[in-house]
Amino acid sequence: MFLFRIRRHRHPLVAGIVPALLLTACAHVAEPPAASPGVAAGERGFAGGVVSVSHPLAARAGADTLAGGGNAVDAAATIQFVLNVVEPQSSGIGGGGFMMIHLADERRTLIVDSRETAPAAASADMFAGMDFRQASTSGVSVGVPGTLLGIELALERWGSMTLAETLKPAIELARDGFAINRHLAARTADPRAALYPATAARFRGDDGTPLPPGHWLKQPELARTLALVAVGGSAVFYRGEIADAIVAAQRQSLIGDDGRGRMTQADLAGYRPRVRKPVEGHYRGFTIQSMPPPSSGGLTLLMMLRLLERYPIGGDDAGWGFGGRHTLHVMAEAMRLGFADRAAWMGDDDQVPVPVAGLLSDCFLAPRGALIDLGKRMATPDAADPWPCHEHGAMSGDEASLAAQDEAKGTDTTHFTVVDRWGNVVSFTSTIESAWGSGIMVPGYGFLLNNELTDFNLTPRADTASGDPGSNDVAAGKRPRSSMAPTMVFRDGRLVLAYGSPGGSTIINSVLNTTLNLIDHRMDLATAIAAPRFSVTSARGTIRCEAGLPDDAITHLVRLGHEFGQDVDPPRCDADIGSVQAIAIDPESGRQHGGADSRRQGTVIGLP
């Protein structure tokens, strides 16, 4: 993690150090802690805004925007465009995302949904006969991109700067170049970086070898594209020459005609972002808001928290506390239950109704929670039916309402969080899905196309006999189910925390781990983010974990029957899960704090 303090203008002065991991059990939280969650004792914080970003150049651009008088939405737009340049493998204008915005003066939270959509010619069986690798590296996987139009909408409604102003730093970096970090250098060794000629020409050496750390990367085609957008707005992307180039590019395929994309110019011209309300739940006196459908992230997170609330997660009794054997066991079981119900019921509720209120109800979750036994691992749970518990009309997802291969999907997403001097906050998760997306760069325009449609069920699940609605089956104009979970936490109506993570389906569990660390284990932001993570992303329940969790707790999980997907005994915790970027706001003083993840080149910049 990098920590900078900006004085007046834009010069970094002070570097911070990530504290040691907190591996001992902490006192159980029966009531909300008196101190502001996430804030280390004696930490002064900032008043002029904070950015927490996975790359220092993007963080600097966002902080400069705040220092120049921009608000959190302006800074978020600037950061996202710069990330397209410095983390091209993770997100960009060829993809989509979810921008969660808290408007301080209005005490209102909303989400700009720029998730990609399936083209009009898409069908439920369009991936028939393809495995994930085949589907995800051909044009058939490319969804209609939404990021650019979503940012433009957010700037027009809640920003104070023009689209052109927020694009300027990205244009300059793409044109003039930058030294790539070890994270991007390592990703250039990925086969997807060399599947198609235009991609390989930019992200491999002249001899076809991966780029080394420190390589000075210039992207003149991307600079030209962003400059065109700066002059003409999103219209030049969704219509005209760039749209024609996108349609032509997604006709590429490694598996013949069946792999060619189905997108047309009409699909691009017809794309619209959505403005949505967050899903909301409560945990130990805090109100938690997160991403609604078409993401499964917020719902699954809130379900798991409700399942865990009856346990002394933060207690100091034997087996509880951080890394305790009981803590990890109940976390694993709650994750298994959440992912079982996610698989059946969650998708794009603009097309297939999602029983949001039913899934979050005591009526539904009480019998689900009763399946958790401290003495043994439950059998693989099936999805339960939430519809009998559902209250119709509990949530509306559209704008008018506002007055087994999952592990491989979406792991190179990115997340960042911003707060401005007025207390407005943006928590933004965006992606092109897999590392390098589909692997297809739009020739002559320098940006990568997503492979987001592989987030749909590759094999249709709709089955009237079993009652499976096929919530995430492919359909024309439908948004694929996501795991992204930009999240905000409130106490007594005031925002105190905002965070999120990349990581495909592990996003949900990275956000869960962070929430428990901050609320139950009373960690400060840096410690909560650095602490080793624990993840299960299916009903079957194969555990992935990071180094640093206690050996005796892992051995206990094996004794209970938990699976680690390894042939070694005891299993190793050697995964690398997520990259959380977070901010905290002291509700009494209003002082702002940031934490960033060293799993990438996480950077916090604060303004006094």
Q: What is the dihedral of CA 30, 35, 39, 44, to 10 degrees?
A: 180
- Report whether 301 contacts 515 (CB < 8 A): yes
Smallest Cα–Cα separation from 148: which of 228, 207, 205? Answer: 228
Q: What are phi and psi of 312, to 5 degrees?
A: -80, 65
Q: Indicate the helix (H) or strand (E) that contains 435.
A: none
| Residue 560 burial by Cβ neighbours in a 10 Å radius (0-12, 13-18, 19+) | middle
What pLDDT, on a 0 to 100 scale, did the predictor assign at position 568? Answer: 85
- Report whether 512 contacts 148 (CB < 8 A): no
Domains assigned to the chain: 278-405+484-491+499-591 (1.10.246.130)
3-state SS of 241-253 is: HHHHHHHHHCCCC
Q: Indicate the helix (H) or strand (E) that contains 429.
A: strand 425-431
Q: Name residues of the chain where pLDDT drops below 50.
A: 2-34, 392-410
Task: Name the catalytic one among 413, 429, 431, 506.
Answer: 413
pLDDT digits (tens, 9 = 90+) for 157-194: 999 999 999 999 999 999 999 999 999 999 999 999 99
What pLDDT, on a 0 to 100 scale, did the predictor assign at position 567? Answer: 83
Report CA Rg, the chain. 22
Contacts 24+ apart (CB under 8 A), 102-105: 102/424, 102/425, 102/426, 102/488, 102/495, 102/498, 103/158, 103/424, 104/422, 104/423, 104/424, 104/425, 104/495, 105/422
- Report whether 544 contacts 538 (CB < 8 A): no
- Report whether 339 contacts 331 (CB < 8 A): no
Report the C-alpha gap between 66 and 311 in whole angstroms: 42
162 has catalytic annotation: no
* 375 SS3 class: coil
Smallest Cα–Cα separation from 153: which of 188, 113, 96, 125? Answer: 113
